[in-house]
Structure 1
Amino acid sequence: MFTPVQSLFGGGLLFISVTSLAAYNGKVAGISGIINNTIFGDSAPWRRAFLAGIGAMGIMLKFIPQLSGGHSVPAFPFSIGKAMAAGLLVGAGTKLGSGCTSGHMLCGIARLSKRSIVASATFFATGAATVYFTGGVPPRYNTVYPSKDELSKLILFITAAASTFELLPAMIKKKARDSTSQSIVGFLTGLTFALGLFLSGMTNTEKVRGFLDLTRPQNWDPSLLMVVAGGLVPNMIAYQLFLKKKEKATFNSRFDWPTKKDLDSRLLLGSALFGIGWGLCGVCPGPGLVTLAANPSAGIFAFWMSYLLGSGAAGYV
């Protein structure tokens, strides 16, 4: 179903999260990179805090129905075999291709990175092709708007998130070392990011696959376009007009932007593999973490075990 308003507000929360992480910590909110570096790399405290924030929001969505408006994070609906195949492809693909929808689309395209533009085009194309060849989604398109109470809650979420991150430097700058400040920012941006994923519909695998079902107009769900409008577009404006001109981040002496610029075979192959896995089950790393915390099942556990296997193996390629 098409949820234009909800997805727009969810995209807005994603924008606030990734822009705040960049402005304060000088870091890119590439979820696959954060996961891979936490498991296989330096495991920096801010990364662990970010992932803890995602997990905490997933648990809150499960046990605090008022927060989720009575809706729950949908169960992972695929078989263990399909979950393992998707996890392996997503894990290997994001490692080889240096990112997924968050790092390449939300953050990379905002910086006008050629690598991210090519990667995004590749995984969207292969994702759409995978959905087409695996049968698409059921034809039950309709548009759903929020009630007045739900709209009030969406406005409250956006206002609270924007206010918190606007006031954050004044609240913690003189009370904590930069490493501690980065962890606080990491946790809060993780919380906000997870809520944005939920509200936007990206934790709903059918909505994601519905967006990729481009060849069947009666099935197509354009909700993720509203995520682009609410998340990518303002992030691009913020980067080009603000972040690009800052000499250093608030709690970091530099900005850790990706430096690779070449369009190599690893980027193309990795993006294609990720797109196939994404199209197969409609889940990428960020939404997959929220689902793992909010609605654990054998299927989503199988996805993550296979993801780590794929990512670890691709590190040797």
Structure 2
Amino acid sequence: MRLFSALVIGAIFGLGIAISGMANPAKVLNFFDIAGTWDPSLLLVMVGALVTTAIGYRIVFRRMPAPRYERAYNVPGNRTIDARLIGGAAVFGIGWGITGFCPGGAIPALGLAEPETFIFMAAMVAGILAARFLQVTVLKTATI
């Protein structure tokens, strides 16, 4: 049942991404092109997502002391703003601005079988592996 609920939730998320246009890199890039062909419609999508999430968290945490299929909620407790967080956010934002894809939009876009999507996903996986490699290397040199 846990896997089925994850599948249903993922399908709803992917459908929302597809309907909103966030799986279309041209639409996303137009959102970032404030001086040119700016398309503010994704701003409404983002605000709607933030409002829905804020309300949803309040309702769920108030009514359910624990999730249905886990022992506890997996909510990050670290609220520290450090160089690692800022650097990761910057790399994410630059990549999103260059390609028009973020992971949430690219995964549903894989269903369209466009070569650009597969190239983005390969680059994203390579970036994740490179970041982990650097993290392990830095941690090893810091502890020696």
If the TM-score is normalised by the length of the shorter chain, which range does it land in?
A: 0.7 to 0.9
Match of 1:197 in 2: 17
Q: How far apart are the structure 1 equivalents of 2:47 and 2:87? A: 28
Secondary structure of the structure 2 residue equivalent to 1:315: helix
Q: How far apart are the structure 2 equivalents of 1:183 and 1:193? A: 15
Following superposition, the deviation at residue 244 of structure 1 comes to 2.8
Correspondence 1:312 to 2:132: no
Q: How far apart are the structure 1 equivalents of 2:68 and 2:82? A: 33
Q: How far apart are the structure 2 equivalents of 1:296 and 1:219? A: 23
Partner residue of 2:27 out of 207, 215, 220? 207
Question: 1:268 is matched by which residue type in structure 2?
Answer: I
| Cα displacement string for residues 224-243 of structure 1 (whole angstroms, at most 9, x for unaligned residues) | 12213432212211212x12
| Cα displacement string for residues 111-164 of structure 1 (whole angstroms, at most 9, x for unaligned residues) | xxxxxxxxxxxxxxxxxxxxxxxxxxxxxxxxxxxxxxxxxxxxxxxxxxxxxx
Secondary structure of the structure 1 residue equivalent to 2:78: coil
Which of 1 and 2 has higher RCO (CA within 8 Å, sep 6+)? 1
Q: How far apart are the structure 1 equivalents of 2:129 and 2:21? A: 29
Q: Within 5 A, what are the aligned runs for 1:25-104?
A: none
Following superposition, the deviation at residue 301 of structure 1 comes to 2.0
Native 8 Å contact 1:292 1:301 kept in 2: yes
Secondary structure of the structure 2 residue equivalent to 1:258: coil
Following superposition, the deviation at residue 304 of structure 1 comes to 1.6
Match of 2:70 in 1: 252
| Cα displacement string for residues 257-316 of structure 1 (whole angstroms, at most 9, x for unaligned residues) | 01211111000011001111100011011211122222232x322222221111011013
Partner residue of 1:231 out of 38, 46, 49? 49
Question: 2:131 is matched by which residue type in structure 1?
Answer: A
Gaps of 5+ in 2: 136-144
Q: How far apart are the structure 1 equivalents of 2:12 and 2:4? A: 12
Question: TM-score, structure 2 length as denominator?
Answer: 0.84
CA RMSD of aligned residues (A): 1.5
Native 8 Å contact 2:66 2:72 kept in 1: yes
Following superposition, the deviation at residue 200 of structure 1 comes to 0.3
Q: How far apart are the structure 2 equivalents of 1:270 and 1:229? A: 22
| Cα displacement string for residues 205-232 of structure 1 (whole angstroms, at most 9, x for unaligned residues) | 1111111122x1x521111122134322
Query: Structure 1 vs Structure 2: percent identity of aligned residues?
Result: 35
| Cα displacement string for residues 4-45 of structure 1 (whole angstroms, at most 9, x for unaligned residues) | xxxxxxxxxxxxxxxxxxxxxxxxxxxxxxxxxxxxxxxxxx
Aligned residues: 133
Gaps of 5+ in 1: 1-180
Native 8 Å contact 2:17 2:105 kept in 1: yes
Question: TM-score, structure 1 length as denominator?
Answer: 0.40
Q: How far apart are the structure 1 equivalents of 2:119 and 2:112? A: 16
Following superposition, the deviation at residue 253 of structure 1 comes to 1.9
Following superposition, the deviation at residue 193 of structure 1 comes to 0.8
| Cα displacement string for residues 58-116 of structure 1 (whole angstroms, at most 9, x for unaligned residues) | xxxxxxxxxxxxxxxxxxxxxxxxxxxxxxxxxxxxxxxxxxxxxxxxxxxxxxxxxxx
Q: Within 5 A, what are the aligned runs for 1:92-241?
A: 181-214=1-34, 216=35, 219-240=37-58
Native 8 Å contact 1:207 1:223 kept in 2: no
Q: How far apart are the structure 1 equivalents of 2:121 and 2:25? A: 15
